[in-house]
Structure 1
Amino acid sequence: MAPSRAPSVQLLRSLRSSDVYSGASSTTRAFSTSCRQHEEEVVVQRESFYRNPKPETAFVPRLERRLAAAGTPPIGSRRRRMAIAQSQGVLFDQLPFQCFQEARKVLIEDRQEKLQQIQTMRDRIARLQQSDGNALHRGGEQYKQKRLESMRTELEHLKILADVNDPNVKRRFEDGKGDMSKPIYRFLADRKWRDYVQKILIQRITQMKVVPDVVPHCDPIVDVKIKFGRTNVQAGDFVDSAISEKPCQLTVQSFEKDPKLITIAIVDPDVPNLETDSFNSRCHFLASNVQIDALTPHLDLAKLAEEQILVPWLPPTAQKGSPYHRLSIVLFQQKDNISVDKAVALRNIQQTDFRTRSFMTRHMLTPIGASLFRTKWDDNMGAVMQRAGIDGAELELKRVKVQPLPYKRRNPSTFR
């Protein structure tokens, strides 16, 4: 330590010690002639930071791991938790930093400007709705509706710009208290998802050939998470056959305001075909006319209505000796939210030889989300196949040894 820093360090230590014991010093008894035994003795007990860690203020890695193991993970970033722990209860908006307060004034003025622009845009939309489309433009009512849609999109963009720099909004979003009915929280959630989770998902579905084996292309715009009971499944994980015997639960998080009608398809493209020495695609679940929005992301496939289910749940299976099977979960958006007629759809569906591309073209579907899990032969697979009525539990697939051509065979007689 430099000699010039030694006095300042000692001074800081003395100030900290005086702050810590300031509460205890206030309880000391001054000079008095009264009897001490008649006075109540106040004992100040400070709450231990290490024995009782809190999710809002724990910033030590050891305490973070303890909270995560207890089921109450830390809230927000470590830098923010450290600042709260050392601020001694000062409100976030009243932090005594001049630069911070001056920056807040600039943000408040900018927000007032955006609010005025929002009100102006709302008035323009109201006037356009009351006007006659034929008198407004030669395009007529079609031009009017297109112009209204463009103005509503600009209005949503202004709402995001009004709150995107607000530190309180970012704090609530980090705490997981964001209201997905508001455009700013949908924007922040979408940006956070695209920064990391979407990239990992695209890597998995391309690396494991879900694209193009199942669908020709897929640009995910919704977050899809898989869960079997209490087991969370990451994209590409192996799932035991005893767990996947029952339908899974999906968390489909949409980041747009308007609800969507989607079709859910679970396809296995790795079913061995011994006659043609190739693989077929088998549909394990198919449901249409399922509505999703930003506020209700949870979907239990076992609780869907009967008129929505085209193909009921078939447990994923894999014969002994066969490679692992990819159970691809693909979500399709129905064009213009038009319902799919169940009677018409069932005419051309073949569960054992399901053609995903033909199904997409026939009903004008667009893939908006995908995920997958894998299965292979395990100790419970035989019983699952028997209960599901799938043949082949007693068979074991073996690779056929390909004999080399005559001129490539090794002749031991020539080696003598």
Structure 2
Amino acid sequence: MSFGTGIWSNFSKRSTSLTVSSNKIKQGLLNAGLPFGPATLRKRSSRIKYSPPIGLSTVYPLAYEILELESTQIYKILSRQANELSMEQKEELLVRAEYHNPEVVFKSHFQTNSLDRTQPVYRRYLREKWENHDKMLLMQRLESLHAIPDTLSTLDPRCDVVLRFPHNNVHTTVEPGQLLSSNVTKKPPSLEVVEFDPIPDDLYTVLIVNPDTPDLENDTFSTTLHWALRNVPLSSSDISIDALKLQECPERELVSYLPPVPDKNAPVNRLVVWVFRQNQKELTDSEVAREFFDIRGFVAQHSLTAVGAHIWRSGWDRNVPNVRDMYGLPKGRVFHRVRR
């Protein structure tokens, strides 16, 4: 079988992001014989040794033809009933039309960083991957570290929140619950909010809170607001929140970033990132108290809907005094086993 001539090879009405850019990989996906071996095998010796499963060269073209024919029928339905279908029905049909496309399947599994999130089928694959691992990991960390209910009572995650810190020009993804040094978290993080549902361009609020600030007068802990962003526009094609976007509209930063600088011998601090979808057009608050922050009251006051979260931990280390000096913060406290 060679390159197809059906709907999966026609890009007059389909996005070119649904095809693989590499001709060698595409040839391997559309040719079960592979006389020169799969292009995904880097070593030439491995490609030479490769032999396809018995019967694949016969079955694969037939399966491809059947699936492509089903896709053609679905696109015909979309074309005939475009005005009668709801957005959810169109979304589901677009997913069914491309879900078994070999090129789409390959990109969804091996080129996830370059997927076009405006395409429903890619969002479906991203959702399945997220629900099979990252969503469960996030909820396990939020609950085992008691960020739920210490900050908000619960969460039904609807989007994936990817957290990175620009440390030494290396943007490494932070795993939920990871313990980070003060040298890594001294600058504001960048976020990616990956929505899986077809939504219009919305505005979002982001809060980073620390529920582990010692309150000695009341012999308890209080919540500190470390960062607050408001009215941040996001969409399927624009999912990032970073320093560049905030420089363009500085009024989106309601409370400036304060890096975690835990006191010596104090418990490890939990920094909880909450992402909210705004139900009203814009938040107009001009002042919000950083200390003794009431996150539940803030959420209720502005009718915010929590759609995602993240968490990391921070403890005292030898670099904390340097970070305090960088931000003009007072000298930290030192706690002892016996209160002095």
TM-score, structure 1 normalization: 0.65
Are the counterparts in 2 of residues 256 and 293 from structure 1 also a CA contact under 8 Å?
A: no
Give the residue type in structure 1 aligned to 2:282: S
Tell me what 2:289 maps to.
350
Which stretch has the larger CA shift, 243-252 or 154-163?
Answer: 243-252
* 2:128 aligned residue (179, 183, 191): 191
Are the counterparts in 1 of residues 39 and 47 from structure 2 also a CA contact under 8 Å?
A: no
Question: What displacement does 1:96 show?
Answer: 6.3
Tell me what 2:65 maps to.
105
Post-superposition Cα deviations, 1:161-183, rounded to whole Å, max 9, x if no partner, equal 11112222212322315322211
Inter-CA distance 368–110: structure 2 relative to 1 (3 Å threshold) = same
List aligned pairs for 1:206-217, cutoff 5 A: 206-217=143-154
* 1:391 aligned residue (316, 326, 330): 330
TM-score, structure 2 normalization: 0.78
Question: What displacement does 1:118 show?
Answer: 1.1
Are the counterparts in 1 of residues 261 and 324 from structure 2 also a CA contact under 8 Å?
A: yes
Give the residue type in structure 1 aligned to 2:221: F
Give the residue type in structure 2 aligned to 1:306: P
List aligned pairs for 1:179-328, cutoff 5 A: 179-229=116-166, 230-232=170-172, 233-257=174-198, 258-301=200-243, 303-304=245-246, 305-328=249-272
Question: What displacement does 1:320 show?
Answer: 0.7
How large is the Cα RMSD of the aligned pairs? 2.7
Greater share of helix: 1
Give the residue type in structure 2 aligned to 1:57: L
Question: What displacement does 1:113 show?
Answer: 2.1
Identity, in percent, stands at: 27
Are the counterparts in 1 of residues 324 and 330 from structure 2 also a CA contact under 8 Å?
A: yes
List aligned pairs for 1:50-89, cutoff 5 A: 56-58=40-42, 86=50
Give the residue type in structure 2 aligned to 1:243: V
Tell me what 2:319 maps to.
380
Are the counterparts in 2 of residues 319 and 392 from structure 1 also a CA contact under 8 Å?
A: no
Inter-CA distance 173–106: structure 2 relative to 1 (3 Å threshold) = same
Unaligned runs of at least 5 residues, structure 1:
1-48, 64-81, 89-94, 126-150, 402-416
Inter-CA distance 215–168: structure 2 relative to 1 (3 Å threshold) = same
Are the counterparts in 2 of residues 227 and 250 from structure 1 also a CA contact under 8 Å?
A: yes
Inter-CA distance 372–110: structure 2 relative to 1 (3 Å threshold) = same
Tell me what 1:340 maps to.
283
Secondary structure (helix, strand or coil) at the match of 1:220 reads coil
Inter-CA distance 55–101: structure 2 relative to 1 (3 Å threshold) = closer
Distance in 1 between residues matched to 2:186 and 2:284, nearest whole Å:
28
Question: What displacement does 1:303 show?
Answer: 4.7
Question: What displacement does 1:302 show?
Answer: 6.7
Post-superposition Cα deviations, 1:83-135, rounded to whole Å, max 9, x if no partner, equal 897369xxxxxx9622222222221222222122212321436xxxxxxxxxx
List aligned pairs for 1:77-156, cutoff 5 A: 86=50, 97-124=57-84, 151-156=86-91
Corresponding residue pairs, total: 292
Which stretch has the larger CA shift, 305-314 or 167-176?
Answer: 167-176
Give the residue type in structure 2 aligned to 1:278: T
Question: What displacement does 1:250 show?
Answer: 1.4
Secondary structure (helix, strand or coil) at the match of 2:260 reads coil
Are the counterparts in 1 of residues 118 and 236 from structure 2 also a CA contact under 8 Å?
A: yes
Inter-CA distance 266–180: structure 2 relative to 1 (3 Å threshold) = same
Distance in 2 between residues matched to 1:197 and 1:226, nearest whole Å:
13
Greater share of strand: 2
* 2:107 aligned residue (172, 186, 197): 172
From the CA coordinates, give the structure whose radius of gyration is larger.
Answer: 1
Distance in 2 between residues matched to 1:329 and 1:84, nearest whole Å:
50
Tell me what 1:360 maps to.
299
Tell me what 2:15 maps to.
none
Question: What displacement does 1:55 show?
Answer: 7.7
Instruction: For CA contacts below 8 A with separation 6 or more, give which structure has more relative contact order.
Output: 2
Distance in 1 between residues matched to 2:41 and 2:304, nearest whole Å:
48
Give the residue type in structure 1 aligned to 2:99: V
